[in-house]
Homo-oligomer: A and B are copies of this chain.
Amino acid sequence: MASGINLAVIPGDGIGPEVVAEGLKVLTAVLPSEVKLETATYDLGASRWHRTGETLPDEELERLKAHDAILLGAIGDPTVPSGVLERGLLLKLRFAFDHYVNLRPSRLFPNTPTPLAGRPDIDFVVVREGTEGPYVGNGGSMRTGTPAEVATEVSLNTAFGVERVVRDAFERAAARPAKKLTLVHKNNVLVHAGHLWKNTVDRVAREYPDITVDYLHVDAATIFFVTQPQRFDVIVTDNLFGDILTDLAAAITGGIGLAASGNINPTGAFPSMFEPVHGSAPDIAGTGKADPTATVLSVALLLRHLGYQAEAARIEDAVTADLAERDAAAPRTTEAIGDALAARVAN
Q: Interface residues, chain A, CB within 8 Å of chain B?
A: 76, 82-83, 86-87, 91, 114-118, 134-135, 137, 139-141, 143-160, 163, 186-196, 198-199, 218-220, 222-223, 225-227, 240, 243-248, 250-252, 255-256
Contacts and interface: CB of A to CB of B under 8 A. Distances in A.
Oligomer: number of copies: 2
Given A117-B115, A223-B247, A135 B189 contact: yes
Contacts of A137: 191
Nearest to A119: B117
B248 A222 contact: yes
Contact of A188 (B76, B117, B188, B219): B76
Nearest to A252: B226
Contacts of A159: 143, 146-150
A306 to B, nearest CB: 28
Contact of A134 (B160, B190, B199): B190
Given A147-B160, A150-B158, A154-B154, A86 B188 contact: yes
Given A86-B188, A188-B76, A223-B251, A195 B151 contact: yes
Contacts of A115: 116-118, 226-227
Contacts of A191: 82-83, 87, 137, 139
Given A222-B251, A244-B219, A247-B223, A192 B152 contact: yes
A266 B276 CA distance: 44
Contact of A153 (B193, B227, B245, B247): B193
Contacts of A156: 150, 152
Given A134-B155, A152-B192, 8 more contacts: A83-B194, A91-B189, A115-B117, A153-B157, A222-B244, A222-B248, A226-B226, A227-B255
A282 to B, nearest CB: 14
Nearest to A116: B115
A173 B318 CA distance: 48
A222 B247 contact: yes
Contacts of A243: 186, 189, 218-219
A90 to B, nearest CB: 9
Contact of A149 (B147, B196, B227): B196
A134 to B, nearest CB: 6
